[in-house]
């Protein structure tokens, strides 16, 4: 499932975040790309241990914890601390087709995280740069994503994806991974759609024996399928 969630950060939060991160020291993005990714990756990132990245990442996670759409879609168990990248038109910076690593070590911790859900939070508006679309491949073809600042896209980490070359301006984003309570994307999608349908029925008809039964089945499936 791919899902666009608008307005995760307000315009004021985006401006403050960009002011903070743009003044920080950036490094070659290939340091976190893995063996395959580093061969097709050309961008810059804030270091994983950057105090600015950690501080701003906490703001991102706080916004997500308050966002019911994100919770319903991702059903998060554990988060990777959000990272920040930038692609400049000068140099046509890009990230070729790749798949995210299945496991990532959590910085400063012995914990490993399984990457189930990938998320990109846009911090620049589409008119600030040309190119730079997130391109995600699935059985229906290629999906091209370029969202307003403050909006995010989430998609299965199993997806092959890329960032198209930026040919003008600069694309700045936060990105991170979530280990979901539900490992399989198909099951997460089923639960997400079921949850939305229950809410729609309640709004239309109020609580009834049928909506209570459906809600019970939703939670029983979540209990059956969830992993810590």
% of the chain beyond a pLDDT of 70: 97
pLDDT at 33: 58
Question: For residue 34, what is the domain's CATH number?
Answer: 2.60.120.620
If asked whether residues 190 and 176 sit together in one domain, one would say no
Report CA Rg, the chain. Answer: 18
If asked whether residues 219 and 111 sit together in one domain, one would say no
If asked whether residues 25 and 67 sit together in one domain, one would say yes
pLDDT digits (tens, 9 = 90+) for 69-113: 999 999 999 999 999 999 999 989 999 999 999 999 998 889 999
Quote the CA–CA distance of 129 and 102 in Å, as a whole number.
31
If asked whether residues 109 and 200 sit together in one domain, one would say no
At 31, the pLDDT band (50, 70, 90 cuts) reads: confident
If asked whether residues 168 and 211 sit together in one domain, one would say no
If asked whether residues 161 and 195 sit together in one domain, one would say no
pLDDT digits (tens, 9 = 90+) for 209-228: 999 999 999 999 999 999 97
Res 160 pLDDT > 80: yes
DSSP, res 88 = E
Whole-model pTM?
0.94
pLDDT at 39: 79
Quote the CA–CA distance of 72 and 2 in Å, as a whole number.
13
How many domains would you assign to the chain? Answer: 2
Residue 197 belongs to domain spanning? 185-225
If asked whether residues 17 and 111 sit together in one domain, one would say yes
If asked whether residues 19 and 129 sit together in one domain, one would say yes
Contact predicate 98/36, CB 8 Å: yes
Quote the CA–CA distance of 82 and 121 in Å, as a whole number.
10
pLDDT digits (tens, 9 = 90+) for 101-153: 999 999 888 999 999 999 999 999 999 999 999 999 988 889 999 999 999 99
Last residue in a domain, options 180, 197, 212:
180
Q: Average pLDDT for residues 42-59, to the nearest whole number? A: 95
Q: Average pLDDT for residues 49-57, to the nearest whole number? A: 96
Residue 3, SS3? Answer: strand
pLDDT at 29: 87
If asked whether residues 110 and 207 sit together in one domain, one would say no
């Amino acid at each position: 499932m791919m899902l666009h969630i608008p307005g995760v950060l307000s315009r004021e939060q985006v401006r403050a975040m960009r002011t903070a991160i743009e003044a920080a020291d950036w490094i070659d993005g290939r340091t976190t790309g893995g063996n395959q990714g580093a061969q097709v990756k050309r961008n810059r990132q804030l270091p994983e241990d950057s105090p600015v990245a950690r501080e701003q990442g906490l703001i991102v996670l706080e916004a997500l914890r308050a966002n019911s759409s994100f919770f319903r879609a991702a059903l998060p168990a554990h988060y990777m601390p959000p990272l920040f990248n930038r692609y400049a038109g000068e140099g046509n910076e890009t990230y070729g087709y790749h798949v995210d690593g299945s496991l990532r070590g959590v910085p400063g911790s012995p914990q490993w995280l399984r990457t189930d859900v990938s998320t990109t939070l846009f911090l620049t508006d589409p008119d600030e740069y040309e190119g730079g679309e997130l391109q995600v491949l699935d059985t229906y073809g290629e999906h091209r994503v370029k969202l307003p600042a403050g909006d995010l896209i989430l998609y299965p980490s199993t997806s092959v994806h890329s960032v198209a070359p930026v040919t003008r301006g600069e694309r700045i984003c936060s990105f991170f991974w979530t280990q979901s309570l539900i490992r399989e994307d198909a099951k997460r999608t089923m639960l997400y759609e079921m949850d939305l349908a229950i809410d729609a029925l309640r709004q239309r008809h109020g609580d009834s024996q049928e909506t209570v039964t459906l809600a019970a089945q939703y939670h029983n499936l979540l209990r059956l399928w969830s992993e810590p």
